[in-house]
Chain A
Amino acid sequence: MTLDPSAIVARHHGDASRLVQILHDVMAVEGHVAPPVITALARALGLPRGQVEGVVEFYSFFSSEPRGRFRVLFSDNITDEMAGSHELRKHMLDSFRLQPGEVSRDGLVSIGTTSCTGLCDQGPAMLVNDRAIPRLTPARIGAITSLIRGDVPVDRWPDNLFPIASHVERRDLLLSTELSPGAAIDAAIARGAAATIEEITRSGLRGRGGAGFSTGTKWAACASAPGPERYIVCNADEGEPGTFKDRELLAAHADLLFEGMTVAGFAVGASKGILYLRAEYPFLVEPLLATLEARRRAGLLGERVRDAFAFDIELHVGAGAYVCGEESALIESLEGKRGIPRNRPPYPVTHGYLQKPTVVNNVETLVAAALVATHGAGFLRAVGTPKSSGTKILSVSGDVARPGIYEYPFGVSVQQVLDDAGAVDTQAVQVGGPSGMLLSASELHRRIAFEDVPSAGAFMVFDGSRDMLAVVENFTRFFAHESCGFCTPCRVGTTLSAQMMKRVVSGTGSRRDVKDLAKVSNLMRATSHCGLGTTAGNPVLDALAKFRPSFDKRLRSLEVLPTFDLDEALAPAREATARDDEGAHFTNQTSQAEKP
C-alpha cells in the first residue's frame, strides 16, 4: 500500500482536530511519519508544519523516523519487571545483537520499552506493532523471535500469542448487575433530564478516576453552562501503571458504559459523546465499534434515541501519553494537539472540547451512572461508606496468588483485599498507582475510600523479597518519561528524581541525593502545572517516610560524592589521544579532599 496523505486527510473530512487519528492511519501504512509527509499533512489541514511535527514528536506511538518493520516494546511497569521482563528483553536484544531502541541494520526489528500496557495481571507483556502479547515466557519469546526472523507479518502470527484473559475474581454491584440495553435510557427519559442529574447527585457518585469529584455536580454544571452544544467524553486512557479495571469494563461491559454515556448526554443536553481509548488497548477497538454499531441499529444511538433525543458516540484512540489521562490534556489530544494540560479554570464543564461545555468521566463512573439511572440513588447509597457510596473496582497485581479484577464496596480494608488475592509476607502495597499512595506493612488496616486511601484502581502488591527502592526507581523513571515537558518543575524535577534514585539504587548515591530527592519532590508537588507533576514525587516521599532505612543502607557515603563516574568521564578523551598515563585517570575518587 502506498501512502497518500491527502486521501487520508480527505477521509477525515480535512478536520484538523482529527490529527491524532490521521497520524494513526499514516503510521499504519508506513510505520513512521516522514518529514515530507508531515509537510503534506500540514498543507492539507491548513496547520503550521511545526504543529503537526510537534504532535508527531509528542506521542510515543508516533515517530518521524523509520523504525523496525517489527517494533517490539516491552511493558516497563514494575509488575512486568518483577515477572522477569528485563531478563526476557535482554535475551531478545542479545539474540538480535541489538541495543535498546536501536533499529537492526536490515530495518527488520527494534526492541524498546513502553510504559505500563495494562496487562499487569498477565505480564510480562509486550506490544509488537501495537498489538499486545501477554504472558511472555522464554518459550514465547523464542517463538516471537523466530517469527520476526522469518519476516512473518504480525497478522499471520499464531492466534495463541494474543488472547487477553479476563480474571474477574470478585464481583459486586457493577460487575454483577445485568441491564437490558436501553433500560437506563428509558428510566432517564421517564424521570426527565433535571431529575436524572438530581438522582446522580443524591446517589453520592464520585469520579472513579481518582480525584473523586461529585459526578452529579459536574453534570449539573455542564447542563447549566451557556451554549447550544455540549459533549460527553469518556476517559478510557487508563495509563496509571498497575491499572487495568477499565480494560475489563470495556471488554465485557461496553454496553453498560455506552448506556451511561447516553444517559449523561440526555441529562446534560449533549448530542455527541467521545470515547478516548488508550492506544495500548488496540484489541478493544473492533469489539467496541461493533457494540456501537449494534446500538445504532437498535435505535440506542443516532438521530432519534428512543424518539426523544439525538446522541451518538465516536471512538478516539490515544497515542501513548500518560498525561492525556488528565482531563484537559485529554481534550487537547481529542482536538488533535499535543497533550499539554490547559490552565484551569475555566474547567471543561464550561470550556471543554472545542471550548464547549464538556463532561469528562472515567469509564467506571459512567457504568455506575447507568446503574443509578436505572435503579435510583439508593442502589449505590446502600453500599460503601458515608462519603464514598458504591463500589470500587481494583486491579490487583504483583505478589499475589490470584491477580485480577476485584470489586469491593468502598471501605474495604487493604488487608481484606490481600487475603482474598492470596498475598503472603506483604511488605508494601502501592494503591492507586505511582501517583497514589505507598502503604507499608503497618498500614494494611487502612481502608479504600475517599475518606482514607483513595484509589484510581491500581493495587500493586510487593512481598518481603522485593527491593522497595527498585520499585520507587521504576516509578521515577516512569514519570520522567511521561512528563509532557510544559512546566519546568515537572520536566526537570522528574528527570532529576530518576537520576538520583538510580544513583541510590545502584549504590553510588550519597546523603545529598536523599536530601535532594525530598527537596525536588516537594518542589514538584508545590509548583507543577498539573496533577502529573504534583503527584510525581509521591512514591519518593512515601518511601522516604516509610522505608527510610532502605535508603540509608544503600548510601556509599555520608559525604557529598560526584554524581558521575569521574574516571569514566575521561574515557572518550583517553581514546582520542591514546593516552593512558597517570594524569589521564582519576584515582581515589572518594579522597578526603571531599571534606569541607
Chain B
Amino acid sequence: MSPDVKEVKKKLRVATTSLAGCFGCHMSLLDIDERLVPLLDLIELDSSPLTDIKHCGPCDLGLIEGGLCNAENVHKLREFRAHCKILVAVGACAINGGLPAQRNHLDIRECLQTVYLTGLGVERGFIPNDPELPLPLKQVHPLHDVVKIDYFLPGCPPSADAIWQFLTDLIAGRTPKLGHGLIHYD
C-alpha cells in the first residue's frame, strides 16, 4: 500500500466518556505513551474528556469506562449507543459495576441521609435537591443492563498494551484478541 493511499483513508471517529468510573481507564489509554502519535493518525476524537466536546455526534467507536450510578449516566450511555456504531465497555466498572457497586447492598435513601443529614460533623445539613443534579439510581448497574454492548475490554484498568492491542485490532478490521499477557496471566 503506497503512503498516499493511506493518507486518504478516512480516520475512525471515536468518542470516549467516563460514567461511574475513576478516569483510571482513560489514564491507561494515555499510558500508551508515544504510540498516541501513530494512533492520532488513525483516529479523530469526538466527544471525550480530552476534547471537552459535550455531546456525541455520529461516531465509529465509543469507549465507555464506569458503570451506571445515576440518571445522567443512563442518558449519556443512551446518547453514545445512538451515535456509535461500535460500543465498548472498558474496565471493571463498566462491565460489572465495579467499586461503585459496593453500595448496592445499602439503601440509597439511608446513604443520602447519612451523608447529608446525620453523618459525623454535618451541621444544618440538607439533601441536595436541585433539578440540575442527576438522581442516583437505587443500585449501580453495568452498561449491558441498559443497552447492547458490542465488546467488553476487562481490567482495572485494562493495561495500556491491552488498550493498544484492542484499538489497533479494531481499526485494522480484525476481531480484537488479547490473549496471554494482556488478559490471561497464568
Contacts and interface: CB of A to CB of B under 8 A. Distances in A.
Interface of A: 512, 559-560, 562-564, 566, 568-579, 581-584, 586, 591-596
Interface in B41-89: 71, 74, 78-79, 81-82, 85, 87
Contact of A593 (B82, B109, B112, B137): B82
B146 A562 contact: yes
A570 B135 contact: yes
A572 B112 CA distance: 10
A592 B82 CA distance: 8
Contact of A586 (B74, B85, B127): B74
Contacts of A573: 108-109, 112, 135-138
13 contacts: A512-B148, A560-B148, A563-B146, A564-B141, A570-B138, A577-B127, A578-B129, A581-B131, A582-B131, A583-B71, A584-B131, A594-B148, A596-B87
Given A570-B71, A593-B78, A579 B145 contact: no
Contacts of B138: 568-573
A591 B150 CA distance: 19
B168 interface: no
Contacts of B131: 579, 581-584
Nearest to A578: B129
A96 to B, nearest CB: 25
A26 B148 CA distance: 51
A43 B178 CA distance: 51
Interface of B: 71, 74, 78-79, 81-82, 85, 87, 107-109, 112-113, 127-129, 131-132, 134-139, 141, 145-148, 150
Contact of B112 (A576, A584, A586, A592): A576
The 8 A-B pairs at the shortest CB distance, nearest first, are namely A560-B148, A593-B78, A577-B129, A573-B135, A593-B82, A569-B137, A581-B131, A576-B109
A591 B78 contact: yes
B108 A586 contact: no
A499 to B, nearest CB: 11
- Please report whether the interface of chain B is mostly helix, strand, loop or mixed according to DSSP: mixed
A575 to B, nearest CB: 6
A566 B135 contact: no
A586 B81 contact: no
Given A578-B129, A579-B135, A595 B112 contact: no
Contacts of A592: 82
A577 B130 CA distance: 9
A594 B74 CA distance: 11
Contacts of B81: 593-596
Contacts of B71: 570, 583-584, 586
Contacts of B79: 593
Contact of B109 (A569, A575, A584): A575
B19 to A, nearest CB: 15
A577 B128 contact: yes
A512 B85 CA distance: 18
B135 A574 contact: yes
B137 A596 contact: no
Q: Which of A568, A570, A592 has the most CB of B within 10 A?
A: A570
A570 B68 CA distance: 12
A572 to B, nearest CB: 5
A574 B148 CA distance: 27
Contact of A576 (B82, B113, B134): B113
A569 B129 contact: no
A568 B138 CA distance: 8
Given A564-B145, A571-B138, A579 B108 contact: no
Q: Which of A563, A572, A594 has the most CB of B within 10 A?
A: A572
Q: Which of A562, A573, A575 has the most CB of B within 10 A?
A: A573
B74 A566 contact: yes
Contacts of B150: 596
A560 B78 CA distance: 12
B127 A594 contact: no
Q: Which of A566, A576, A579 has the most CB of B within 10 A?
A: A576
